[in-house]
Structure 1
Amino acid sequence: MDKKISVISDLDGKKIVVISDIRFKGKRNINWEEVEQYLKEYIGDCYEVVETSDQVYIGSDFPGELKGSGDTKRLYGANAKAKANATQGIPMLLQCATNRRWQENFKGKHNVDAKFGWYRFTTRFALPVYNNDTGDLERFNIFRIEMLIRHAADGNLYLYDMVNIKKKRAPRLSNSCTVTNPFLDYMIH
C-alpha cells in the first residue's frame, strides 16, 4: 500500500489528518528503533503551522527524543501504534495544528535548547482499522495528540516530541457521514 496522507474536516471545520498506511505494525510492541530511523528522514525540514504562521524545524534531537521520551515509554497497545504511525504525517500534523499554548521552561537541562520555553499545539489524525480475518477496511480511529515544540536559544522553534495521545470518538464529517467504509471508499480510492 502506498503511503497516503490527506486532510479532511469534521462538521465543525476542524481538520483531521488521515494516514491511510499502517507502516509500524505490532499488536504488543512497537519497534521504536525502526521509528527513530524513519524520523531521521525529517531532520532539517521546516513546516509552517497555518493557524499561527510559526515555522517549526525538525532538529537532530527529535528522533531520539520521541523514541526515548517518558511519554513514549508509558504507551502500549493502540496508543503506541498510533503514535508510531502518526510520525508519517508530521508535515500535515504541524500544518493543521491549533490551540497554541506557551509554558515556561522549568528544567535546567533545557536552559539552551528551550531557553524561551515550550509551545504545545493540538492536532488530530485518523488511522485505519482493518478486519483481521479478511483484511478489509472497517473504520478509522481518530486520535488527538499534542505537538511539543521547544523555543530554542537561536530563536527557532523545534519539534521535540508528540505527547498526550488520546483516542477520540469518530466525529461527524462535512459530507454527513461518520468515518466509516462509505466515506473511506470515497476518500482513499
Structure 2
Amino acid sequence: MIYIGTELPGEYAGSVYTKKLKGAVAKAKANAAQVLPEMIEIATNGIFENNRKAKHGRDAKNGWYRYETRFAVPIFNEDGEVVRYNIFKGRLLIRHASSGKKYLYDVLEIKKETSKSCQA
C-alpha cells in the first residue's frame, strides 16, 4: 500500500528535479499528476535504497523505494479530438516512514518512449 501524503504537492512541483525540466517532459509531469493513483497501481520493479542525505533521516527513516511506471499524455488536433498518445516512462520515489507506511514522494527520470506510439 502506497499513500499520497501531504508533502507530495510541494515536492512534486518544487523539487530540484522538477525545476530542471523543460518542454514536453515538464508538461508531461504536470499532466501525470492527474493519474498518480493509476501510476502507483501499475508500478513494477521496486528497488530499495538507504537514505543518501542526512536530512531525510527523519522523514524516510526506513529508506526509499524506486518503482518503474508509465503514463500517457493525449495529443489533440485542432478540433479538440484526441489523435494519439505520447507514452512516457518514469520512476516513482517512495519514502518509507518510521511508521512503516510508504508515501509517494516524487516522480523522477521521466523520459518519452520513442519506440512506441499509441493511436486513438
RMSD of equivalent CA atoms: 1.3
Runs (5+) with no aligned partner, structure 1: 1-54, 172-177, 185-189
Aligned residue for 2:74? 128
Shift in Å, 1:128: 1.1
- Pick from 61, 67, 75 the counterpart of residue 13 of structure 2: 67
Higher relative contact order (CA 8 A, sep 6+): 2
- The DSSP-based 3-state class of the residue aligned with 1:91 is helix
- Pick from 137, 154, 179 the counterpart of residue 118 of structure 2: 179
Shift in Å, 1:152: 0.9
**One-letter amino acid of the structure 1 residue matched with residue 33 of structure 2:** T
How many pairs are equivalent?
A: 120
Report matched runs for 1:1-189 at 5 Å.
55-131=1-77, 133-171=78-116, 179-180=118-119, 184=120
Structure 2 distance, partners of 1:136, 1:156, is 41
Runs of 4+ in 1 over 6 A off after TM superposition: none
Structure 2 distance, partners of 1:179, 1:66, is 27
- The DSSP-based 3-state class of the residue aligned with 1:106 is coil
- The DSSP-based 3-state class of the residue aligned with 1:154 is coil
Shift in Å, 1:170: 4.9
Higher alpha-carbon Rg = 1
TM-score (norm 1): 0.60
Conserved 8 A contact 1:150-1:159: yes
Q: Which structure is higher in strand share?
A: 2
Runs (5+) with no aligned partner, structure 2: none
- The DSSP-based 3-state class of the residue aligned with 1:84 is helix
- The DSSP-based 3-state class of the residue aligned with 2:32 is helix
The verdict on how the C-alpha distance between 1:170 and 1:179 changes in structure 2, with shifts beyond 3 A counting, is farther
